[in-house]
Amino acid sequence: MIVTLAMTTTKAFAAHAATSPLATYSFERRDPGPLDVQIEILFCGVCHSDLHTVRSEWGPTNYPCVPGHEIVGRVVKVGSEVKKFKEGDLAGVGCMVDSCRTCSACQANLEQFCENGTIFTYNSPDKKSGGFTCGGYSKSIVVEEAFVLRISDKLDPAATAPLLCAGITTYSPLRHWKVGKGQKVGVVGLGGLGHMGVKLASAMGADVILFTTSPGKTKDALRLGAKDVVVSKNADEMSKHANSFDFILDTVSANHDLNAYLSLLKRDGTMTLVGAPIQPLPVEAFNLIFQRHTLAGSLIGGIKETQEMLDFCAEHGIVSEIEIIPIQQINEAYERMLKSDVKYRFVIDMRSLKD
């Protein structure tokens, strides 16, 4: 049941149709309840998921759609029962704002797999206010305390924003498959996800090899922590690494040959997909059967693990490589993102959205 709540008008940028550019939009946010935290949004990362969603490429989108799930801002109001946050705190909101809290996934701190339906930060049914959730391309957001994250003052807030999706998307599989010192780890692709995979795996002690189709990315990959770079179009370079990887993190969303990388795994090695190609990709059974290889997938991470990731990044001084833009350049940024013309994540300075 939806209870009638006090509401406040919030300014944002939204898509009104799959083929229309994002434009200014105003909508109603609920005022904070007893368990809620209200955050004035300072920075919001631009994720490829934002583009796919506003263009209705991942299933039907509910319009108007306010994207954005890499949110960092200042707490401006807290409910009477909130314990972990106070006004003035730096806080973050990632890909989720609610879940059922009771299913086996939620009980295991894996809210992203909620069996009764995760409530994502945008384009999900809003069970508290009605309608659909609206994300971080907006002036402020109200989220229940259980889904708000602490942000360390040691980290640059703008460069921290992409950690709320790109960071946890790559951190979670590295932790789940116990990547650590002495292991040889491959990262496929050096984009918004891949550059975080290189940084995080390197900080965990692994020897990281980057795979790329672009030789021009070699210098950046080494700067970010890779030990070596392999141009995946070069068969000789690829063959030198046959049967040698403990783990490979595949961050590429374009169509590509999975078999070329599966053959590089050691016995019992795992390759995990975090990129999401739209078309199905063929897998040769023998690349799994021989050497008992595993092909897996991973989706963001739960709230507890996301906080762990943020704390790990604060300890190791890890943030995303970013280009800051005003919200008025978001449509141009989407087109540039499609061309991989960003190193390596756009972040919107939401202060550019005037009242």
Q: What is the pTM of this model?
A: 0.94
- CATH number for the segment(s) 166-297: 3.40.50.720
Cβ pair 42, 72 in contact under 8 A: yes
Q: Which of 144, 116, 142 is nearest to 7 (CA)?
A: 142
Whether 306 shows a pLDDT value over 60: the answer reads: yes
Whether 5 shows a pLDDT value over 80: the answer reads: no
The contacts found for 16-20 with CB under 8 angstroms, 24 or more apart, are 16/63, 16/64, 17/63, 18/54, 18/55, 18/56, 18/61, 19/55
Residue 276's pLDDT is 87
In the numeric block, which tokens belong to residue 295? 């092909």
Tens of pLDDT, residue by residue over 48-61, are 999 999 999 888 99
Residue 1's pLDDT is 46
Whether 352 shows a pLDDT value over 90: the answer reads: yes
Of the chain, the percentage scoring pLDDT greater than 90 comes to: 90
What does DSSP say about strands 265-273 and 245-250: parallel, antiparallel, or unpaired?
A: parallel
In the numeric block, which tokens belong to residue 322? 């970013």
pLDDT band at 3; cut points 50, 70, 90? low
Domain boundaries, the chain: 7-165+301-352, 166-297
Residue 7's pLDDT is 83
Q: Which fold has domain 7-165+301-352?
A: Quinone Oxidoreductase; Chain A, domain 1 (3.90.180)
Taking each helix axis from N to C end, the angle separating 303-316 and 194-203, rounded to the nearest 10 degrees, works out to 70
Whether 329 shows a pLDDT value over 70: the answer reads: yes
pLDDT band at 32; cut points 50, 70, 90? very high
Residue 270's pLDDT is 98
Residue 58's pLDDT is 82
